[in-house]
Amino acid sequence: MLTVETRHAIDPQTAKRMDTEELRKHFHMGSLFAAGEIRLVYTHYDRMIVGAAVPSGAPLVLDQVKECGTASILDRREMAVVNVGASGKVSAAGETYAMERGDVLYLPMGSGKVTFEGEGRFYILSAPAHAAYPARLIRIGEAEKVKLGSAETSNDRTIYQFVHPAVMTSCQLVVGYTQLHNGSVWNTMPAHVHDRRMEAYLYFDMKPEQRVFHFMGEPQETRHLVMKNEDAVVSPPWSIHCGAGTGSYTFIWAMAGDNVDYKDVEMVAMEDLR
């Protein structure tokens, strides 16, 4: 079963007038992971698709998505798949990839239909592509690792870069995840924006009662969304994207747009946040 929801782009002036319900309607993406289903959100932010597939005992096949306007979803797109569940398999272009929890699979343009099997919980990210680069399964030991923050500032964290120029070549997708260490709760603080690309977050590794307060909005006009386990959020290029949780957690970050340079950001000074 395939479900696709479309999200249109929102400008910062419109976002300023939104209440909590409207903010969640346009930026929050909940209930992506449903047993026996593929659920996708087609965004108008750099045409990024965010979604999930949960085979739950029977294979799920992702092929034609009407919103893409092509016979198959990857005819003019690339894709990254992150397994946030138990062991599973993903098949495309005649190859089958066994994926453990935390593995990331990159599939290039022209890979054809994608089949999901096993007990995995597969997070899906896709963006338009201009070339076909080699498919690659990237395990955590092959990711580029960056340590940031400290326990003193409650943001001791490790960043794992998977679909990233330091590891491999893609068209515009940049994907990785950040693990907060015990006692640390802040992510991406000090905050930044990057006008040349959008970003999406998926928060996971959270207990049912745990929450993350995700901050968004222009630096001088901030808002927040309350996130639970396996909730996702889309971040426009004009918006900050940072958060603080009631305990440690992990989040997957994914970007699409003009530039794949991870450090191409405009930092926001703490005194400038409102």
pLDDT tens per residue across span 217-260: 999 999 999 999 999 999 999 999 999 999 989 999 999 999 88
- 132-179 pLDDT per residue, tens: 999 999 999 999 999 999 999 999 999 999 999 999 999 999 999 999
How confident is the model over 11-33, as pLDDT tens digits? 999 999 999 999 999 999 999 99
DSSP 26: H
Q: What is the pLDDT of residue 127?
A: 98
Which residue stretches of 92-164 are H helix? none
- The strand order across the sheet containing 197-204 reads 28-29, 231-235, 197-204, 250-257, 174-180, 157-163, 144-148
The model's confidence at residue 263, banded by pLDDT at 50, 70 and 90, is confident
Q: What 3-state DSSP class applies to 14?
A: helix
Q: Can you name the residues that pair with 203 across neighbouring β-strands?
A: 231, 251
Arithmetic mean of pLDDT, 95-109: 98
Quick check: 57 pLDDT over 90?
Answer: no
What confidence score (pLDDT) does residue 202 get?
98
Tokens of 131: 């070339």
Query: 248 and 151 in contact (C-beta within 8 Å)?
Result: no
Residue with tokens 């490790």: 158
Whether 113 contacts 158, CB under 8 Å: no
Residues of each annotated binding site: 192, 194, 199, 241
Tell me: pLDDT of 261 over 90.
no
Tell me what pLDDT residue 109 has.
98
Binding-site positions for Zn(2+) read: 192, 194, 199, 241
- pLDDT value of residue 163: 98
| Beta pairing class for 192-193 and 186-187 | unpaired
Residues 6+ apart with CB under 8 A from 63: 72, 73, 112, 113, 114
pLDDT score for 230: 98
Segment 38-53, tens digit of pLDDT: 999 999 999 999 999 9
Using CA atoms, how far residue 70 sits from 67, 76, 83, in Å, is 8, 8, 26
CA distances from 102 to 67, 87, 138, 168 (A): 29, 10, 9, 17
Provide the pLDDT for residue 44: 98
Residue-wise pLDDT tens digits, 178-206: 999 999 999 998 999 999 999 999 999 99
